[in-house]
Amino acid sequence: MPGRTAYGFPVDFENSEMLRRAVAHLGPSLPLLTDLGERFAAAGHELALVGGPVRDAFLGRTSPDLDFTTSARPEQIEAILKPWASTTWDIGRAFGTIGGYRDNVTVEVTTYRADAYDGVTRKPVVAFGDNLHDDLRRRDFTVNAMALRLPDLTFVDPYDGLDALVKRRLRTPAPPEVSFGDDPLRMMRAARFAAQLGFDLAADAAEAMQAMASSIEIVSAERVRDEFSKLLLAPAPRRGLVMLVDSGLADHFLPELPRLQLEIDEHHRHKDVYEHSLTVLDQAIGLEGGSGPDAVPGPDLVLRLAALLHDIGKPATRRFEGGGGVSFHHHEVVGAKLARARLRALRYDKETVKAVTRLVELHLRFHGYGDGAWTDSAVRRYVADAGELLSRLHLLTRADCTTRNQRKARRLSQTYDELERRIAALQEAEELAAVRPELDGHQIAEVLGIRPGPVLGRAYAYLLSVRLDEGPIGPEAAADRLLAWWADQPECR
């Protein structure tokens, strides 16, 4: 029987140096891991660190939370955690999970599982397991099916997860048809890991995804949305998005994306809208961060959704013109409607839907700026229409330039630089970010002698348009303009 290292690993194990580095990376958590392991062992139970924290330790990453699996049942887990943690909570007792918090560390401890699914609702029928190997087999990918037994830190890898990690390959512990059949969301998780970690998908898993893509439709919209958002917020979403499209998964929850792959013929040429959209997303991500008042900290979900979806109105608006031209008139308006419907179907919150939809609607507005001939009124309206989305609109507009013509790209960039300078100058002079009519609602009501209601709202909107068109004109002049406008309204006759 081979000897063992100080960490409990076989000395002849070829990846022992990797294991030592992984445990060293867990160094700050080792006292906590040992303490918990000893507490569970003293109570007669097994405990192991599993999943993401183990995988990330090999990658030199730090997981925000620590996940454990144990032979103890939920009530036993709770009894062990209560004296140790400053607080505990029931994450999902029916599923065997109890949470705890101590010294700025969150832990989740789950009873060994052997889930089964009903094949219709995707709700797991919980069956508690009795050993670590079976628990690891039910996990999504072998890179997440590695464990460290506690407190002795023995490495457990029955499905060669470390080998897959070294090869940057996503494999399933069980046959992929079984794994994806148990929970189709794992197919989306594969795309997310591709985006987050830069991994490739094993050939058998890729084939299973294509064959089983339609089964994603039985997963709740909320779960699909959350997984898709995690993918978009990854460092390199393109890799995962391509996997979603190539596998056919996107056809079932985001069909607008694969539809961007418009057929191009030799007589009617236009830019590849699908590749363009992915490039715009890449470029928008590259513009996140920075400094200054207009910076957009990354990762920003609203900006990334808008970049990906900004041209989804093009397939419905494509028209072939004479001379081989192609037009997409009003695709921004159509695209905004499509984006709103799709994001609502995915159960995104109202603010996200509103913001993304507005950015899609506004993404072409800059191109009316042309050679910089916009009036101050037009610049004010650009700012007012964007509102709090102005910083994101700046980045989306810049990212939307994917031309290979360097001269054209420089010209567009310089033109937008000029627009931003004009915006900054007007903002400084007129406080555009907080632009309001020069009479408030009470003053408008007093001047016109009316009560609050729809008519007052129309009057307010009129004065706002005066403010945007002409800039500050003073309260007295605003009152005169208001009375002149009122004289032409049916209500005053």
Q: Take residue 104 and report the two structure tokens written for it.
A: 């700025």
In the prediction, which pLDDT does 440 show?
Answer: 86
Q: Tell the residue number behind the tokens 């392991």, with chain if given.
A: 37
Helix (H, G, I), strand (E, B) or coil at 91: strand
Q: Regarding predicted confidence, which is higher, 357 or 121?
A: 357
260-274, 382-396, 409-423 — most confident range: 382-396
DSSP string, 434-467: G---SS-HHHHHHHHT--SSHHHHHHHHHHHHHH
Helices 390-399 and 273-287 meet at what angle, rounded to 10?
A: 130
In the prediction, which pLDDT does 370 show?
Answer: 66
232-236, 404-408, 440-444 — most confident range: 232-236
Domain 257-434, CATH: 1.10.3210
Mean pLDDT of 387-398: 93
Q: Take residue 449 and report the two structure tokens written for it.
A: 């002698």
Beta bridge partners of 65: 106
In the chain, what are the domain boundaries? Answer: 1-167, 168-253, 257-434, 441-492
CB burial of residue 16 (10 Å; 0-12, 13-18, 19+): middle
Share of the chain above pLDDT 70, in %: 90
Q: Regarding predicted confidence, which is higher, 455 or 297?
A: 297
In the prediction, which pLDDT does 118 show?
Answer: 57
300 and 359 Cβ atoms separated by less than 8 Å: no
First and final CA of the chain: distance in angstroms? 103
Taking the whole predicted model, whether its pTM rises above 0.85 is answered as no
In the prediction, which pLDDT does 13 show?
Answer: 46
Q: Regarding predicted confidence, which is higher, 110 or 125?
A: 110
CA dihedral of 201, 203, 205, 210, whole degrees rounded to 10: 100
In the prediction, which pLDDT does 9 show?
Answer: 42
How far, in Å, CA of 356 to CA of 300, rounded?
11
Q: Does the pLDDT at position 123 exceed 80? A: no
In the prediction, which pLDDT does 483 show?
Answer: 86
How far, in Å, CA of 241 to CA of 188, rounded?
10
Domain at 1-167, CATH homologous superfamily: Beta Polymerase, domain 2 (3.30.460.10)
In the prediction, which pLDDT does 334 show?
Answer: 95
Neighbour order of strands in the sheet with 97-102: 87-92, 97-102, 105-111, 65-70, 47-50, 147-150, 154-156
Share of the chain above pLDDT 90, in %: 56
Same fold, 1-167 and 257-434: no
In the prediction, which pLDDT does 11 show?
Answer: 39
Q: Does the pLDDT at position 12 exceed 50? A: no
Q: Does the pLDDT at position 117 exceed 90? A: no
Domain 168-253, CATH: 1.10.110.30
What is the β-pairing status of strands 319-320 and 326-327? antiparallel
When mean pLDDT is compared across 156-170, 198-212, 251-265, 325-339, the lowest value belongs to 251-265
Q: Take residue 39 and report the two structure tokens written for it.
A: 């507490």
Cα–chain-centroid distance for residue 323?
41
In the prediction, which pLDDT does 179 show?
Answer: 93
Q: Does the pLDDT at position 3 exceed 60? A: no
Helix (H, G, I), strand (E, B) or coil at 92: strand
The average confidence (pLDDT) of the chain is 87
In the prediction, which pLDDT does 268 show?
Answer: 43
In the prediction, which pLDDT does 1 show?
Answer: 35
* DSSP 8-state secondary structure symbol assigned to residue 113: B
In the prediction, which pLDDT does 122 show?
Answer: 52
Residue 96, Ramachandran bin (φ over 0: left; ψ between -120 and 50: alpha; else beta): left
